[in-house]
Amino acid sequence: MDAENALADSYFDYCPWDFVDRASAGQQAEQDAHQRRLAESGARLGPRCYVSQAAGVFTGTLRLGADSYIAGHAYVTGEVTAGDDCTVNPYATVRGRITLGDGVRIGAHSSLLGFNHGFAPDRPVHRQPLTSKGITVGDDVWIGSHVVVLDGVTIGDHCVVGAGAVVTKDLAPWTVAAGNPARPLRDRRAQVGPRRDRAVSGALPGGLPDDLPDGLSSDLSGDLGDAVARFADRARAQAADLISRCWNPETGRYADRPGAPATVRAHCDAVEIADLLLGSPPEQLAADEHAERLRALQDPGSGLVPEFAPDGGPGELPAPAADGWIDDGTAEYHVLAVGYALDLLGSRLTQPVHVVRRMTADQLLARLGSLPWRTGTWSAGAWVDCWATGAHRNLELGVEDGEPGALEALFGWLTTRVDPWTGMWGTAGSPDAGRLQLVNGYYRLTRGSYAQFGLDVPYAERVVDTVLAHGRDQRWFAAGRENACNVLDVAHPLWLAGRRGGHRAAEVRAWAEEQLTRALGRWRDGAGFGFGPAGEGGGGPGREPGLQGTEMWLAIVWLLADLVGVADRLAYRPCGVHRPEPARSPGFATPG
């Protein structure tokens, strides 16, 4: 098989609905041969069916009606009978005695388990006898992604089962169900619209019921587009107050939340939130006053911005390393936060980021080689983010680097060090450690380099594969365990790497829908978003609502909404640190 056909076959594994119309004669012949092999084992497949050769199909009985398909990496065993127009999407599991009517849709990563075994204490579990009552699914049924249907269940005609549900009991026809365990929410024939009989403070965004379970898909909430639009209206109405609660008029500074110490980042977050939701600077100061306070924080020797001292005065920076760099993670992040806040205020840094300007290409390459790529990928990616952002700010000021070619050296080093199997930099992780460091480091690295400079990331499809695998890790993404850093560090790479190719688009959308629905429910009236539970190493300000959590989750909501296709309903678009667009055009030229 030539490379072009191999690529197309991979496409059909994930988009089998296109096979009949788009397959070449050779691909059709291979599919016919595959179906003949299945028929030799007793399968009966109707016209225009497709069964991916990448699916694990080991059935005693397989009956597919016309125009039905089994996508790549599905796992199908037992006695499976399906009517016309049925779909088993990628990575779904259909096992045991399963009967599907016509027009059944089984979402990616869902499991229909038509068998069971005992767990009596008289013998080990693996020696328990198997039983099978079977699962029956009626006509015109949509089973969303990551659903589990247990043995003995009957799902009636015209039902819809929301993403992530666990169906343990029968569902009557026309039922819309969701949750764990799944429970009926409404009759599908009932007209759906926003609730008008409930105060805003007593309902989730969009007028959804208070007890709406996590994992409800967009179509089950009536219209996810309407929900995000109502959320945005609600956030705009409360933005000025939630910023004011974090302002201390006695010190003239912002804190992340009442009672917390004043920080440089809090001031920047206030500027970003006000710009995003109100289209103006925070009302505590005029735009030029905000800009002047932020510009005055820049250290004249290094060009970095230190944190406030405990007494609220200017902070101090550590001594520089041998290559002239000053290792201070907070000051490094302020290159991003202060620079983008000044952009929003129509201003710029007072002077170049000198630690970047003075670093030669050789020093840069040596520093890159010494970063903790195997043990602390996030820290390594954060350093690249800071250095590249400093280079961007210096170009913005028209300042030449100390030695020509340092920025080109950065991209050359990155291009030759990326792992083609993961699309990332650093160690690939382990079952115990997972991919958290790898993926979170990838976001920070690419945010400041490829994304900020408008360059395509290498091995984009492998990036999507790696990030989706991480996004299924329940240690970080089970309901209630997510924090802003971890969700952002999946959402942005999926947006950045997937925007042109559409690789595994259905799975990306399903993940984004689930996370978006959860995110909308986290808003706290008058206070905004909390960052969420602490990440690895205890990072982040915690669950209490504050400026950092609000700024980050507002950007996350936009990214998730754009992955789902409803970002226009928010009527805002991030323009600061977490902006989706590049800060400059490729070629490293200063914008005109």
Residues assigned a catalytic role: 117
Distance of CA 208 to the CA centre of its chain: 23
Give the integer Cα–Cα distance in Å for 227 and 179: 19
Give the integer Cα–Cα distance in Å for 94 and 539: 40
Helical axes 460-471 vs 484-498, angle rounded to 10°: 150
When computed from its CA atoms, the radius of gyration of the chain, rounded to whole angstroms, is: 27
3-state secondary structure of 155: strand
Cα three-residue angle 79-85-89, rounded to 5 degrees? 70
E-strand stretches of 144-301: 148-149, 154-155, 160-161, 166-167, 175-178, 183-187, 247-248, 253-254
Residue 156 in tokens: 């009636």
Query: How far, CA to CA in Å, does 281 sit from each of 30, 112, 257, 554?
Result: 62, 53, 18, 17
Residue labelled with tokens 């197309």: 8
Helical axes 460-471 vs 505-520, angle rounded to 10°: 40
Short-list 358, 300, 304, 357, CA closest to 331: 304
3-state secondary structure of 324: coil
Classify residue 524 by its DSSP letter.
Answer: B
Query: Does residue 181 have a cis peptide bond before it, meaning omega lies within 30 degrees of 0?
Result: yes
Query: Does residue 194 have a cis peptide bond before it, meaning omega lies within 30 degrees of 0?
Result: no
Distance of CA 215 to the CA centre of its chain: 14
Helical axes 377-396 vs 361-370, angle rounded to 10°: 160
CB 255 within 8 A of CB 263: yes
3-state secondary structure of 287: helix
Cα three-residue angle 369-375-376, rounded to 5 degrees? 80
Give the integer Cα–Cα distance in Å for 107 and 123: 36
CB 228 within 8 A of CB 513: no
Cα three-residue angle 337-508-144, rounded to 5 degrees? 135
Give the integer Cα–Cα distance in Å for 163 and 108: 10
Q: How many CA atoms lie within 13 A of 368 on its CB side?
A: 25
